[in-house]
Structure 1
């Protein structure tokens, strides 16, 4: 897919990884809708780009999400919004409403958004969806936030199951799975740690946006995952 001239929606795009992805897609020539609930940061991010606009949408509001996608009719959807890995308390100490909200934001919302764009993308003769996962969703070890890691594991598996959509809908759904990314907040959090606890350097934002662009542009990729681990080159996983 040629990104130039396409319509893109990026969720969680006011700051951090979402803003970096939106900025990169705009630089590649896409018309980008930056979706978030942080109005000040969202408007500032969109205002710094050409052919971009900010949309206030709470992804836990099904009707608002459906209205957005029906109006935007994107050729490219990046399900980046998420979070909660550092919020405490977590399961089992958190109440059901709190850990359910994490599942809804990190898994249900991207599932619904993907479902909502399928018909339009099929009518438009194709589209690309990129889900932003996390290495918290890989492996079998413990994690401080079980609900977050479970939702990201589900997002990875969800992506892999949708490979057939390339044939049935001409829609390719893929996932980028980064380790700790060097956003402004990520850098500050790492620098606040003792030196012995910081670990390897974080994933550069450019490495993340390169992976997203690859998953959009490469028409041979469907239901695939690009793993971004610290101190290792990007890896296209065989699922």
Structure 2
């Protein structure tokens, strides 16, 4: 059990990639704090984790609100008796031509994808330093954080920003024994991609399912990514085998973007 005795907080853990990360870290031995906005889905994941013998707790929070992120960490530490790993997974997508992006749309995605990651980094690092302990901070970027994509321009910009925050935080917190890395998934078969495909259909006139198929057909390994594919890599970032790695944002996409 690579993470036995560790406590991990995963934002956006009520479904999709976040749920898969929570399940994998629990199987690795960690106790899990589930943070999301959907209480019913959080409870369902909580029951799944408890069936694995994992201690877990839920906390409803909007990651765009700095105070709520800090409160989530306090709750998880108090309830589970520790805090070792922060996974800033929560985020939203946006499909929109750059010419049509509104002020409201820009503000919303920045607050969640960039602000939520920044508050998670801040709050986790503060807690690790207060406790005089090493810690792991793991952020969700994307292939869109390495390449900009048409109709995903603002989303791409937020994921580039996550990479920048990851690099800066790695340098600022290294002396405290805190590592900061990111993971960059590709086309993952989740509800988010269903929404992305539908939105592409509305803008381009493509039949529903065609955009998803086009992107999947471009994957070298020949299949869409699963949430578990992402979670397996996050497990590595959360464990001791990655202790000498910081400031990095590796691609885990089956072969779409090459660096």
Instruction: Give the structure-2-normalised TM-score.
Output: 0.80
Deviation of 1:2 after TM superposition, in Å, equals: 4.5
- Whether 1:66 and 2:70 are equivalent positions in the alignment is yes
- Residue 193 of structure 1 corresponds to 209
> Residues 165 and 171 of structure 1 are in contact (CA less than 8 Å); yes or no, is this contact kept in structure 2?
no
CA distance in 2, matches of 1:100, 1:60: 10
Listed as ranges, the gaps of 5+ residues in structure 1 are none
Report if the CA contact (8 A) 1:26-1:52 is conserved. Answer: no
1:167 corresponds to which of 164, 174, 191: 174
Equivalences for residues 100-111 of structure 1 within 5 A: 100-111=107-118
2:59 to 55, 60, 66: 55
Whether the aligned pair in 1 keeps the contact of 2:4 and 2:29 (CA below 8 Å) is yes
SS in 1 for 2:90: coil
Offset at 1:205? 2.6
Where do 1:80-99 residues align within 5 Å?
Answer: 80-86=89-95, 89=96, 91-99=98-106
In structure 1, the partner of 2:190 is: 183
User: 2:180·2:246 contact (CA, 8 Å) conserved in 1?
Assistant: yes
Alpha-carbon RMSD? 2.7
SS of residue matched to 2:229: helix
Structure 1 pair 181–24 and aligned structure 2 pair: CA distance change class (3 A): same
Matched residue of 1:220: which SS? coil
Question: How much has 1:167 moved relative to structure 2?
Answer: 3.3
Does 2:233 match 1:211?
yes
Query: Quick check: which one's helix share is greater?
Result: 2
Number of corresponding residues: 232
User: Matched residues in 2 for 1:131 and 1:113: separation?
Assistant: 9
CA offsets 1:77-119 (integer angstroms, 9 cap, x no match): 0000001234xx5644232122111011001111111111112
Runs of 4+ in 1 over 6 A off after TM superposition: none
Preserved CA contact (<8 Å) 2:125 2:173: no
Aligned 8 A contact 2:17 2:228 in 1: no
* Contact 2:59 2:75 survives alignment (8 Å): no
Deviation at 1:182, TM superposition (A): 2.6
